[in-house]
Amino acid sequence: MARKNILKAQRIVVKIGTSSLMLPNGKINLSNIDELAFVLSDLNNNGYEVILVTSGAIGVGLNILDREERPKEIAQQQALASIGQVELMSLYTQMFRRYSQKVSQLLLTRDVTDFPLSSDNAKNALNALLSLGIIPIINENDAIAVDEMDHQTKFGDNDKLSAIVSKLVGADLLIMLSDIDGLFDKNPNIYDDAKIFKEVHEITDELQRIAGGAGSRFGTGGMTSKLAAAQILFENNQEMVLTNGKRIREIQKIVNGDEIGTYFHKNIEKEG
């Protein structure tokens, strides 16, 4: 059965994580970035408004400096993100240009949620960019977002950032690309008989327990942060599809309502 609400979606946020942008050997996954640029440009040509939330600054920074280990020291992480972000955007600009698609960059801090004026400014900028037919590319401003005592500037992770961006622009759909096909009843990397949830209507304690199981990264990332993002969306009557970043072309099927990945929605039919 087609996912009816998705067929009405016009404004779509896509979030891609480091695992879909980098290869296991630490090099850049050029074919995935190219495919993403193609698919998002194609959506834009077909009249969708598209926003990309991307991770990868630190991963690309590590690649540039020929390092394998993510440093523990915060200043080193900030430096890596600053180095990697430029290269990441350069790659996106080149790949999107192949498809005649213009892009822009926004680096956000939590100020856009905590200060109404900052929130309005970010919203206005994004709306202006979308009306110009541009695909805004967003990441956290990792080089300067470091929490101080009474001034929290970090989102924590880009799953949460993508939900906040979706709320900011009133997106009809968030498509979250992960390294897994969706949310399962147990971690499929550990259990062969794990079954995927096609739909989720509520973030229950039971789901939190399932998502926090072994194999998931605690703190940032992991399935727990995807459920936290879904919770933000539910609070705003918004929707999300969690799917695998290895098959980026499936985004086109997702917007056509195909049953791919896990569909997080509250079961509310939209008018029109």
Ligand X SMILES: Nc1ncnc2c1ncn2[C@@H]1O[C@H](COP(=O)(O)OP(=O)(O)O)[C@@H](O)[C@H]1O
Ligand Y SMILES: N[C@@H](CCC(=O)OP(=O)(O)O)C(=O)O
For residues 216 and 187, is the Cβ–Cβ distance under 8 A?
yes
Q: Indicate whether 53 belongs to the interface with ligand X (CB under 6 A).
A: no
Q: Which stretch binds ligand X (CB under 6 A): 72-80, 120-128, 133-141, 205-213?
A: 205-213
Q: Indicate whether 71 belongs to the interface with ligand X (CB under 6 A).
A: no
Name the residue nearer to ligand X (CB basis): 71 or 215.
215
Q: Which stretch binds ligand Y (CB under 6 A): 107-115, 134-142, 164-172, 188-196?
A: 134-142
User: Whole-angstrom Cα distance, residue 84 to residue 78?
Assistant: 10
- Report, in Å, the least distance between residue 247 CB and ligand X: 13
What is the CB neighbour count within 10 angstroms for residue 94?
13
Report the number of secondary-structure helices (H) and strands (E) in the chain.
11, 8
Which member of 36, 40, 96, 142 binds ligand Y (CB under 6 A)? 142
Question: Any bridge partners for residue 16, and if so which?
Answer: 54, 177
Name the residue nearer to ligand Y (CB basis): 18 or 238.
18
Name the residue nearer to ligand Y (CB basis): 3 or 229.
229
Choose the one of ligand X, ligand Y, none that binds residue 187, judging by a C-beta under 5 to 8 angstroms depending on kind. Answer: ligand X
How does 166-203 read in b/e, with b if 16+ C-beta sit within 10 Å? bbbbebbbbbbbbebbbbbeebbeeeeebeebeebeeb
- Report, in Å, the least distance between residue 5 CB and ligand X: 23
What amino acid occupies position 89? M
Cβ contacts of 124 within 8 Å, gap of 6 or more: none
Residues 33-62: x where in contact with ligand Y by CB under 6 A, - otherwise, as a string: ----------------------xxxxx---
Q: Name the residue among 198, 233, 253 with its Cα closest to residue 42.
A: 253
Q: Indicate whether 217 belongs to the interface with ligand X (CB under 6 A).
A: yes
Q: Indicate whether 221 belongs to the interface with ligand Y (CB under 6 A).
A: yes
**Binding-site size, ligand Y (CB under 6 A):** 15
CA 175 to chain centre: 7
For residues 85 and 47, is the Cβ–Cβ distance under 8 A?
no
Per CB under 6 A, residues contacting ligand X are 17, 19, 178-180, 183-184, 186-189, 210-211, 213, 215-217, 221-223
* Binding site per annotation, positions for ATP: 15, 178-179, 220-226
Q: Which residues bind ligand Y (CB under 6 A)?
A: 17-18, 55-59, 81, 139-140, 142, 157-158, 220-221
